[in-house]
Amino acid sequence: MERYFQPEIECASPEKIRQIQSEKLVKQVRHVWDNVPYYRKLMEEKGVTPDDIQSRDDLYKLPFLSKADLREAYPYGLVGMPLKDCVRIQSTSGTTGKRVVAFYTQHDIDLWEECCARAITAAGGTDEDVCQVSYGYGLFTGGPGLNGGSHKVGCLTVPTSSGNTDRQIMFIMDLQTTILCCTPSYAAYLGERMKEMGYGPDDIPLKAGIFGAEAWSEEMRHDIEKTLGIKAYDIYGLTELSGPGVSFECSAQQGMHVNEDHFIAEIIDPETGEVLPDGEQGELVFTSLDKEAFPLLRYRTRDVCRLTREKCSCGRTHVRMEKPKGRTDDMLIIRGVNVFPSQIETVLINAGYAANYQIIVDRVNNTDTLDVQVEMTPEMFTDNLGEIADRQKELVDGLRAMLGLKAKVTLVAPKTIARSEGKAVRVIDKRKI
């Protein structure tokens, strides 16, 4: 039986949702115009005033915000409330440049935690559950977001934060944790470690996992589900918009429902900025409808995916987004071809290798090189060089079929690729361009 945290909103009619969005958008644009001079200037440059925005249908008239704007306006330029009303900041890891610092009022935090509570409930969570939050706590949104969501659902919350893997496992086994929240790469690592310690899926008390903050493939999902004996749910979010819980997966596992009463999702052509119809692939853009302290309008996420409004078997009516293929900044352009790490992961897992890999891109004699380093596993090893070389070649062929590119495959010793406790470092780009 599907559970909902706020059924009246999560299962509202599409008309009702549009009405909520229109009302909130009109108010939000006025709030931004009055309180965020940086965005007001962008609107003025485009010749748009709040009077032009009468409903959700007028959204396209508004200018975009990009990560570059966030950098330029850092730290306070996009804050929409007096600082005396702000109660918290969260921040990104800053791996792709300057950190993003996002601001929250108490109202913003409550809404964010409600979104996370919807995700936990959709994963089957109730007040009977023990929910271990192994996302990092602190500046990173993962820990605080799911922690708050878990409280709202009424789960017994175990705030382990990330790291100290053996202690994580001790808590899972001793407290009989039923729901695990962490990055998918850390879930895979926990699974690997528990297997080594002799715990099979039937010994592990977990029933569900809520994994997000990095791109992961369907194949990786199946691996984690098998090793831990759970159902693994995806969750999506960005610090810029609050954190995890912007969208989340339901039992159907056919895309993530966007919390449309709080966010409007659009897909645009990343080149022209033109809005694309549902079902077409493009860059995901979000408008936050009721955030007070950091009210971003038409924020370009750089995530590439599709939206669908087809009816979902779970009963929720909110639009679904497919798992992003990767951020446009995770996307590598190698010899002119767009490559997402998740595509490489799919090929590796299909060929029987583990999801521990690293992609090294370099430029030699003006030609890009792609080296995929994979750890040798006991299952793939034989004493016969020829057989190993054949399997290596199969991988090269598989990668060529998937990417349209010739890649080098290097087999490396087990445990030589660093395991991450937060976001996995999959790509090392050595090109100096």
Partner 1 sequence: MSIKQISVFLENKPSTLKAMTGVLAAHHIDMRALSLAETKDFGIARIIVDDVYDAVNVLKEADFVANLTSVLAIKVPDEPGGLDRLLQVFADCNLNIEYMYAFIGGKDEKHAYMIFRVRDHRAAEQKLVSRGLKILSQEDMQEI
Q: Which residues bind partner 1 (CB under 8 A)?
A: 376-378, 381-385, 388-389, 410-416
Taking the C-alpha atoms of residue 294 and residue 76, their distance in angstroms, rounded to an integer, is 10
Single-letter code of the amino acid located at 25? L
Count of CB atoms situated within 10 Å of the CB of 363? 15
CB of 417 to partner 1, least distance (A): 12
Only one residue has tokens 């194949």, namely 219
Only one residue has tokens 């944790």, namely 177
Contacts of 325 (CB under 8 A, 6+ apart): 215, 304, 305, 331, 340, 342, 343
CB of 391 to partner 1, least distance (A): 12
Taking the C-alpha atoms of residue 137 and residue 244, their distance in angstroms, rounded to an integer, is 13
CB of 412 to partner 1, least distance (A): 6
CB of 415 to partner 1, least distance (A): 5
Alpha-carbon dihedral 181, 144, 139, 215, rounded to 10 degrees: 30
CB of 378 to partner 1, least distance (A): 6
| DSSP state letters, 389-417 | HHHHHHHHHHHHHHHSS--EEEEE-TT-S
Taking the least distance from each CB to partner 1, the nearer of 277 and 378 is: 378
Taking the least distance from each CB to partner 1, the nearer of 202 and 383 is: 383
CB of 410 to partner 1, least distance (A): 5
CB of 396 to partner 1, least distance (A): 13
CB of 289 to partner 1, least distance (A): 50
DSSP 8-state assignment for residue 267: E
Residue among 290, 285, 261 nearest 275 (CA):
285
Taking the least distance from each CB to partner 1, the nearer of 79 and 411 is: 411
Residue among 79, 87, 77 nearest 107 (CA):
87
Taking the least distance from each CB to partner 1, the nearer of 300 and 391 is: 391
| DSSP state letters, 66-94 | -HHHHHHHTTTTT--S-GGGEEEEEE---
Taking the least distance from each CB to partner 1, the nearer of 45 and 383 is: 383
| DSSP state letters, 247-309 | EEE-TT-SSEEE-TTTEEEEEE-TTT-PBPPTT--EEEEEEESS-SSS--SSEEEEEEE-EE-
Taking the C-alpha atoms of residue 151 and residue 265, their distance in angstroms, rounded to an integer, is 27
CB-CB contact of 125 with 153 (8 Å): yes
Taking the C-alpha atoms of residue 424 and residue 205, their distance in angstroms, rounded to an integer, is 25
Taking the least distance from each CB to partner 1, the nearer of 101 and 399 is: 399
CB of 166 to partner 1, least distance (A): 16
CB of 170 to partner 1, least distance (A): 21
Only one residue has tokens 């595509």, namely 343
Taking the least distance from each CB to partner 1, the nearer of 241 and 411 is: 411
Taking the least distance from each CB to partner 1, the nearer of 1 and 413 is: 413
Taking the least distance from each CB to partner 1, the nearer of 413 and 433 is: 413
- Positive or negative, the CA dihedral 267, 271, 274, 276 is negative
Taking the least distance from each CB to partner 1, the nearer of 258 and 409 is: 409
Taking the C-alpha atoms of residue 381 and residue 395, their distance in angstroms, rounded to an integer, is 14
